[in-house]
A = this chain, B = another copy of it.
Amino acid sequence: MMPAGGGAARGEALSTLRGVIHQQATKAGLADLFGQADKEVANLSPWQKANLREMRREYVRASALPQKLVEAMSRAESQSEQAWRQMRPNNDFAGFVPFFREVVRLKREAAQAWSDKLSLAPYDALIDGFEPGARSEKIAPLFARLRRVLPGLIAKVVESQRREQTATGAGPFPVERQRYLGLELMRRIGFNFNHGRLDISTHPFCGGIPSDVRITTRYRMGDYTQSMMSVLHETGHAKYEQNLPADWTSQPVGLARGMSIHESQSLFHEMQVCRSRAFLEFAAPIIAQAFPEAAASVPEAFSPENLFRQLTRVCPSLIRTEADEVTYPCHIVLRFELEKRLIDGSLRPDDVPEAWDAGMREILGLTTRGNDRDGCMQDVHWPAGLIGYFPAYTLGALTAAQLFRAARRALPDVMAQIRRGEFGALDGWLRENVWSQGSFLETRELVERATGEPLGTEAFEQHLERRYLQREA
């Protein structure tokens, strides 16, 4: 929403605020307080202990970096993000790369400082900031498996979908009706409007705090499914935030566990639940009611069967945020491999376009040569300094599949409930196993307790095969 001319001052303000927060988080005297707390640890409840662990995690991370580096990173990241916003439309990687070099240089410096303090590899020290406990040596075999399995699966699915007929419905779909549909679906699946809103932005997001969760979407007049599915995705994030343990609000242990669990909640909703045949049987009449003219002119476009086909089409493409559920992990695997090398120094920022193109050709059979806009410049993450964040998307997809499989085992009737638009039991299961846990458990523990097994690719692969080859669920 910000006018272009406001960017510089916004950057300064954020940098100042991050500096103030960093000062507070590293205040002299905190080390003594932690020492004292350790002596009294026997008197603490399990939640207090977990809270102390999370406080220490934040303290150790924050105090590993000098204030000057924190402010310099914030400033460089603001500038780089603004440069990216201007230069991406012009496909101008050469203009952007000086800013990007600076971001990578400072991020490597920070990664080294964290690495020294935390005894982690530098790249792991970055991942750990988004997903505490995640390690690249645990991620690598999961991603290697996906890299091995997905290309063959994608080829099969694309081939079989060639024979499917899909109607897309006659637009235009007025923005006001799309908004009404989004609000109605949010309400039906349990978004709390006393503690949140739906607004518009260029890229959908979920932000705010548990008592005021803001989600956004964007509207394309010709295709309502984009806004609808992004609203359902962000509603998954929002329900997690709104249902965090109220007793621990604004304490570290009361916060969401990490980015992969967060993404598991959005994908649980968007992918596991809302693209299922069962959900679409429930949603089809609501969708048709939102667009009465379109539904009258092409009624078959709003049948559950057609909606299912439409919302589960697979097609390799260049843009991650527009990717379908099957090709999406390929985009993440590429980013994971490249950002690891950016941090260990074996890939220079200047050489990213070439490495990107090579990776895309290998993994998805597409080239981005001469098209950096839709290649390595497509995401805001690296320009904004978010290196180590990408793995969480696919860890989240794996987690979502594993959680949903466990929920279906625990609630044998759940698919019938979804078909009737009843989400109480499913929400109860998520509340108990995920939401109410806040950051009490480590990610690994949370997944194992909820699903009975460590995180793997099997539930996700099984899900993809059932949905995309057998065309069930």
Q: Chain A: residues with CB nearer than 8 A to chain B?
A: 1-6, 8-10, 12, 20, 192-197, 199, 208-209, 211-212, 250
Q: Are B20 and A195 in contact (CB under 8 A)?
A: no
User: Could you pull out 19 A-B pairs where Cβ atoms are within 8 angstroms?
Assistant: A1-B199, A2-B212, A3-B193, A3-B194, A3-B195, A3-B196, A3-B197, A3-B212, A5-B192, A5-B194, A5-B212, A6-B208, A6-B209, A6-B211, A9-B209, A9-B212, A9-B250, A10-B212, A20-B20
Give A196's nearest chain B residue, CB to CB. B3
Give A23's nearest chain B residue, CB to CB. B20
Q: Are B194 and A4 in contact (CB under 8 A)?
A: yes
Give A12's nearest chain B residue, CB to CB. B250
Give the complex CA separation of A21 and B421 in angstroms. Answer: 49
Min C-beta distance of A323 to chain B, whole Å? 32
| Residues in chain B near residue A199, CB distance under 8 A | 1
| Residues in chain B near residue A9, CB distance under 8 A | 209, 211-212, 250
| Residues in chain B near residue A212, CB distance under 8 A | 2-3, 5-6, 9-10
Min C-beta distance of A45 to chain B, whole Å? 24
Give the complex CA separation of A212 and B9 in angstroms. Answer: 8
Give the complex CA separation of A99 and B192 in angstroms. Answer: 28
| Residues in chain B near residue A250, CB distance under 8 A | 9, 12
- The listed residue with most B CB atoms (<10 A of its CB), out of A193, A212, A250, is A212
| Residues in chain B near residue A20, CB distance under 8 A | 20
Give the complex CA separation of A370 and B194 in angstroms. Answer: 31
Supposing A10-B212, A212-B10 touch, asked if A5 and B197 sit within 8 A by C-beta, the answer is no
Min C-beta distance of A10 to chain B, whole Å? 7
Min C-beta distance of A198 to chain B, whole Å? 10
Q: Are B1 and A211 in contact (CB under 8 A)?
A: no
Give the complex CA separation of A106 and B43 in angstroms. Answer: 40
Using A1-B199, A6-B208 as known contacts, list a sample of 12 further A-B pairs with CB atoms less than 8 Å apart, ordered by residue number in A: A1-B197, A2-B197, A2-B212, A3-B196, A3-B212, A5-B194, A5-B195, A6-B211, A9-B209, A9-B211, A10-B212, A12-B250
| Residues in chain B near residue A1, CB distance under 8 A | 197, 199
Closest 6 CB pairs of A and B: A6-B212, A5-B194, A5-B195, A9-B211, A6-B211, A5-B211
Give the complex CA separation of A1 and B196 in angstroms. Answer: 10
| Residues in chain B near residue A5, CB distance under 8 A | 192, 194-195, 211-212
Min C-beta distance of A127 to chain B, whole Å? 29
